Amino acid sequence: MTFRRAHRRVTRVVRGELHTAVQTWTRGPDHRIVLIGMSHVGEPDYFDTVRRVVASHPGATVHYERVVREDPLPPMTDDEWARLDAARRSHRFVLRWAAEVAELGTQHGLAVDGWHNVDVNEVDLARMSGRSMPRLAVPGVRMGIDYAPPLTDRQRRVLRHVVRLLLVHIAPRGRLLMRPMTRRAVVQWRNVHAMTHALRAVHDGPVVMIWGAGHLPGIGDVLLHNDFRLESVRWVRAVGRMRSPEGAPVTGEQPGEELKVSVKVYNNGQVGTS
């Protein structure tokens, strides 16, 4: 991998555990931007580590992503409202559901006073995404209505493994499953929006950006175009392997019994497990 493309590696899997990148970019001695690539679902200590990384840059301006809810909402057509409502209920519910099933935490509550949300408005995002905004479904759950019958202990153990596998191996590539119009809005447009703020703020001091890891390659391209260079990369563990109460990695139902679950992405963009 060439140096100019090193910035595009923003996640890595080490011994079945997902790590995300923290990239430091500089332009001369005075301009510094630190990109913290986020997994929106992760171990509780992952989010503590992110806070420590931010604290290690005292005086920096901190920008973070979180699609903005307007109150009151602007005028919308019935179709726009339907798409917005579906996006609200499905995407945020899926994150909470995945965290609960996999016994992980979410990025919710990470931001503190003094940090700046520089993301786009949710209505604008729904409009820019067009009708291709995906509606996510969760196995065994009716979105926003009720839960399926309670899972057995074995089903919960299997589901924890499957969800962690998806978070480690599939979720970091989720943007590849989006339709082109959705990807342009959700990834590219938001990258440009964020960087217009960062490239202004960096003239007043260092900037720390807490942004989804999938956005970092595009943001890095913008930084390269503006004469920044990638100075260093460190890695933070986001999602680990399942562990027993005694602290050992969980590998199966009983000692000596390995639980094997494979994950596959099909040509039509569907994700399957077996």
At residue 90, the pLDDT reads: 72
3 state DSSP class of 269: coil
pLDDT of residue 251: 37
- How far from chain centre, in Å, is Cα 58? 25
pLDDT at 175 (0 to 100): 61
Backbone phi, psi, residue 130, to 5°: 65, -160
Q: What does the pLDDT read at residue 174? A: 64
**C-alpha to C-alpha distance for 138 and 260, rounded to whole angstroms:** 21
Each residue's pLDDT expressed in tens, for the chain with a length of 274 residues: 444 577 888 999 999 999 999 999 999 999 999 999 999 999 999 999 999 999 999 999 999 999 999 889 999 999 898 888 887 877 777 788 888 888 899 988 899 999 999 999 999 988 888 654 444 444 444 444 344 567 788 888 888 888 888 888 877 666 655 667 777 888 899 999 999 999 999 999 999 999 999 999 999 999 999 999 999 999 999 998 765 444 444 433 333 333 333 434 444 444 444 4
| Torsion, CA 15, CA 162, CA 109, CA 117, rounded to 10 | 80
Q: DSSP letters of 165-229?
A: HIIIIIGGGGGGGS-HHHHIIIIIIHHHHHHHHHHHHGGGS-EEEEEEGGGHHHHHHHHHHTT-E
Residue 242: name the closest of 70, 122, 132, 102 by CA.
102
Amino acid making up residue 37: G
136: amino acid identity, one letter: L
Q: At 224, which amino acid appears?
A: L
Q: Determine contact, residues 143/93, Cβ cutoff 8 Å.
A: yes
Q: Which residues contact 71 (CB under 8 A, 6 or more apart)?
A: none
Question: Half-sphere exposure (CA, 13 Å, Cβ side) for 127?
Answer: 10
pLDDT (0 to 100) of residue 131 = 59
